[in-house]
Structure 1
Amino acid sequence: MTLSPRDDEPSEAIVEFAAASRVFGTGEAAAAAVDDVSLEIARGRIFGVIGHSGAGKSTLIRMINGLEAPTSGTVTVDGVDIASLVGGTLRQAQKQTGMIFQQFELLQTITVRDNVAMPLRLDGVKRAEAVRRADEVLEFVGLANKADAHPADLSGGQKQRVGIARAIIRRPRVLLCDEATSALDPTTTTQIIDLLRRINADFGTTIVVVTHEMDVIKDLCEEVAVMSAGRVVERGSVLDVFVHPRHAVSRAFVGTVIPNELPERVSDRLDQRNLLQLLLLDDQVTAPIISTLIAEIGVGVNILHADMTEVQRHTVGQMVIQLEGDAERISAARSYLENEVVSVTEVAA
């Protein structure tokens, strides 16, 4: 089963990497932060890039706004080869790409309103117009009452909202989020995710999210690329990567949301016979699968673990069970499960 978001809509690419690499250093000291990446990001989507520290995620998105130039290959944004631009033409193109940072990057000595208005003031917009626009976006992000405050007076979540307001004041076509929720608590992270969704829905802004948090990918993004050692090792819809992770790195990240190992104290008390992990999707989650195994097939079922989560408007469930019974009934139970759920996997105790 391969599931892609918005299959009925056009997927014109606004960002395209074509065999793009970024190498730092020379000779024996050369290291590829991004290594031969070919990737398209569709206009108007929310696209995630996930990987461990050092995977090349931040370098990848810095190539989108021209802060890093590819050593080889090309990075095209809205039909323009960013690396071919210099001087004023590059700066003009960069205005179409907003950036949200992990550490907020606010100027402490000026007000929230002036922080937000700063990009327009740097563009030469008159103060009255810049202030009017700043007040508009502060209203949008829910901080109209903090316009005259200074960053030191704000919580972490409020500071990030200011950073978002500043990033969208130029009405960019692409919004880049570099670990934008990593410094925030879970409740504030949810609020920032909701705000980013609203920016995408209201303005049609393409959003590219770099993170090492699979929960953020699950709750926010439609598509995801998994990076390791500078390469994209897997790419697909978020749901498809959750349900069918093909690469070890992807499976490890999915395992942070849908656990795929039993606690050691549990596994130490079990043998390895007929220990199965079931993956269920949507209606399968509420189907009477366990009762059918017991009542109709006649096997005993020991439920060791079960949970569920929401992924892009789909319910994904996971269960670890141990079957008990004679070989014929166990075989029948396995056949039944393989027809009724997404996947059945042997679990080593």
Structure 2
Amino acid sequence: MIYLDYQATTPLAPEAFDAMVPLLRDQFANPHSAHRAGRLAAAQVEVARDEVARLLPSGGKLIFTSGATEALNIAIQGAPPGDIVTIATEHAAVLDTVEVLARSGRRVTILPVDAGGIVDLDAAARAIVPTVSLVVAMLVNNEIGVIQPVEALADLAHRAGALFLCDAVQGYGRVPIPANVDMVAISAHKIHGPKGVGALWLRDGVRPAPLIHGGGQEGGLRSGTLPPALCAGFGIAARLMRDRAEEDRTHIHGLSLLARTLFSDWTLNGAATQRYPGNLNLRRDGIDGARLLSHCRNVAFSLGSACASGSGRPSHVLRALGLTDAQARGSVRIGFGRYTTAQDLERAATELNEAAAVQAAP
């Protein structure tokens, strides 16, 4: 199986796995217990917290969560009362959450994007007014890989007196996170860490209302027993993202150039330059992505967000670009990274191109 679905999840780094095993098997104490074994487990959590924080803006506070979805919910639902502004191409964890708040009476503005998937800053400036308390934007889009002007959006939010929340799940460790954001949501399994753990970074002085109540862990912001093994795996994965940054960047850039050649008969969805190169969303006339996925059984790729893959609806992200339903259904997402080889891409491209040619034939 050739794995080309890095936006859905990344392979677990062997170093992260090795760090987790002792905490699962031997050092199993509750990190919130006062005895020596508990303190040792807690120390492992704090080492991991420091490692994860080193790829985030300086200062602030990092709280561990079960994943980015929980982190985003804490930040959005726990933000001060007021209007909310976000973007049409955000992840469902954002759009579904603000929709719930809108039904309860909060005013929500969803900003459109251009054909490249980038938000218009003039439209954002008109929408982000003093009644707005929270602006939410994704750094790197999970479906099409485009990079939003997060720094400029955060400036607009602050001028209006609002907080800015950055969904950095796809960009953390790969694309610099602007220093002027107020909250950042991230996830371990997108950077070769384990599933089941994420984090919410909060600028000093920012304190959303907690969603979960109980033991008062994580400074009272997120009650519940922390999983030291998952935290440790997250920490090692973050450290590797930092230590291998240049090596990974060069490798992924080379793969991107190769992929553009191998898939030259396809059209790129989203901006061609303002993007993360490890995510290529491609379309081709006359094909159906779901049929292609069924035919190419030896290649793991995606039709869009893994979280919405079973809905049967065309991607809301691709529709926001102005694509027709047919164009959206004829699109596939190719995601690659650290452990992808050039041979993997070449073999996958051969299989995908041959299957697409059969479909598109009159």
Greater strand content: 1
- Please say which structure displays the higher CA radius of gyration: 1
TM-score by length of 1: 0.26
